[in-house]
Structure 1
Amino acid sequence: MTTRMTRAEQTERNRELVLAAARRVFLARGYAGARLDVIAEEAGFSKGVVYSQFAGKAELFLALLEQRIAERAAENEDLAAGQAGLEGLRALLLANARRSEEGGGWTQLVIEFRVAAARDAELNARYAALHVRALEEFGAAVATVLERGGLVPSHPPRTLAELIFCLDAGRELERAAGTARLELDVVVDLVSRFVEPL
């Protein structure tokens, strides 16, 4: 016997299908090149179904970004649980770099969105709120592994996280241009200079 989904379950299922399709389309076409009608077709819906879930392309992207931040925070928390000190910091940095390199262009997509959002004060504020959450969560993971190893960052953990994110975005742009020479070991060495004993 087949159980029918409730309206709320159907709505949530449709939302997840639209988000999955949007992720594929954004990664294939970039933020500027992605269109809602293409996302709807990829999800197997009409544009009306997409609009019933999201107010527009920016809203859809922000929902994807929020989902990605939550996933990465959970991954970092799990990783940090078994790590300590500089080796723990190195593990977090390696995981962060690996996610960027294996993310199918996600980091470039976020950079593209950030540039577009910077030209719209309201959109930029919404993006910034999510970005601050990502910085704070990553900073907390870094602080946890350092403290467990008897170390503390010489600057607030959120500042250290911002430095790491800046280096990651810069490395991604260099990689996209084919000019990347900044090895991860250099990044680890640089970041570890901002750490001192408790």
Structure 2
Amino acid sequence: MSTPRKRGPGRPRKLPVEEQQALVLAAAQRVFATQGLAGATIEQLAREAGLTRQAVYELFGDKQTVFERTVLSIEELAYASIAELGSGDADLDLKSWAHKNYANLFTFVAEHPSAMPVLQEAERVGIPALTRLRARLAEVYTRASRQRWAEHGVEPGRADTALVTMYFAMVEALVNLRWDGDAPDRDALIDLLTEFTIGGVLRLHGQTPEVIARFR
């Protein structure tokens, strides 16, 4: 009786479509963050993902679709991560809550260094993902901050939404700021933002309340 022939190594098992898509989207974050939409190529995306050019085409069709899917995935990740943290901590007072949420924003950017560059690139090419994200997060933070402002006797009205939008803009600006010499440590920036925004509004409420009143 002949013995069964052992199967040679052959070609590696093909990954499921979902895993291949995930590899491409993860690679696309890094490529689009450094090359932009115009500078990136399917060849670069495929090489970074460890797949063939043909596989990328079969999975997504073209570079524009890869970019749009990448932007959407980052937007949803950012919203899920930041909104969940921003809506919790009911026991924290206003300043402690603001401080923690500024820290959360810095942490997200540090853990996902490609996220902000890709969202900013999307805005440049006419996809308002960052604008949508700011607006969605502003709703969450406005609801969470309103009750805390009330504890200080502040009824900000529509100024609350404007203030939250400003808070995000300041964090984004500081994250992208290029310093002469070594940058200040993260905690110093977070303390500065907390005192400037929360302390500033409380002083505004006490000294020139008519400014806030105009937003009601």
Q: 1:138 to 1:176 in 2, by over 3 A?
A: farther
1:115-149: CA deviations, max 9, x gaps? 3x1xxxxxx1xx21x23331122112212321342
Report the Cα distance in structure 2 between the residues aligned to 1:172 and 1:56, rounded to whole angstroms: 32
Pick from 186, 190, 196 the counterpart of residue 196 of structure 2: 190
1:82 matches 2:82: no
Instruction: Report the residue type matching 2:162 in the other structure.
Output: T
1:66-103: CA deviations, max 9, x gaps? 21222222222332222443322222121112222443
Instruction: Report the residue type matching 2:146 in the other structure.
Output: E
Q: 1:57 to 1:164 in 2, by over 3 A?
A: farther
1:134 matches 2:133: yes
1:137-181: CA deviations, max 9, x gaps? 211221232134254655455433432232123213313776856
For normalisation by structure 1, the TM-score amounts to 0.70
Report the Cα distance in structure 2 between the residues aligned to 1:54 and 1:194, rounded to whole angstroms: 48
Given that 2:79 and 2:136 are in contact with CA atoms closer than 8 Å, whether structure 1 keeps it comes out as yes
Q: 1:180 to 1:167 in 2, by over 3 A?
A: farther
1:110 matches 2:119: yes
Given that 2:71 and 2:118 are in contact with CA atoms closer than 8 Å, whether structure 1 keeps it comes out as no
1:91 matches 2:105: no
1:30-52: CA deviations, max 9, x gaps? 32543221111222322232223
Instruction: Report the residue type matching 2:98 in the other structure.
Output: L
Q: 1:72 to 1:105 in 2, by over 3 A?
A: closer
Given that 2:74 and 2:115 are in contact with CA atoms closer than 8 Å, whether structure 1 keeps it comes out as no
Residue 53 of structure 1: aligned partner = 59
Q: 1:178 to 1:114 in 2, by over 3 A?
A: farther
Deviates further, 102-111 or 89-98: 102-111
For normalisation by structure 2, the TM-score amounts to 0.65
Unpaired stretches in structure 1, ≥5 consecutive residues: 1-8, 118-123
**What SS does the aligned partner of 2:51 have?**
coil
Given that 2:139 and 2:161 are in contact with CA atoms closer than 8 Å, whether structure 1 keeps it comes out as yes
Identity of aligned residues (%): 19
Report the Cα distance in structure 1 between the residues aligned to 2:179 and 2:123, rounded to whole angstroms: 17
Report the Cα distance in structure 2 between the residues aligned to 1:137 and 1:178, rounded to whole angstroms: 36
Instruction: Give RMSD over aligned pairs.
Output: 3.2
Residue 35 of structure 2: aligned partner = 30
Runs of 4+ that moved beyond 6 A: none
Residue 3 of structure 1: aligned partner = none
Given that 2:120 and 2:130 are in contact with CA atoms closer than 8 Å, whether structure 1 keeps it comes out as no
1:171 matches 2:170: no
Residue 145 of structure 1: aligned partner = 144
Q: 1:158 to 1:50 in 2, by over 3 A?
A: farther
Instruction: Report the residue type matching 2:27 in the other structure.
Output: A
Residue 74 of structure 2: aligned partner = 68
Report the Cα distance in structure 1 between the residues aligned to 2:62 and 2:134, rounded to whole angstroms: 26
Deviates further, 145-154 or 84-93: 145-154
Q: 1:180 to 1:165 in 2, by over 3 A?
A: farther
Corresponding residue pairs, total? 178
Unpaired stretches in structure 2, ≥5 consecutive residues: 1-14, 206-216
**What SS does the aligned partner of 1:99 have?**
helix
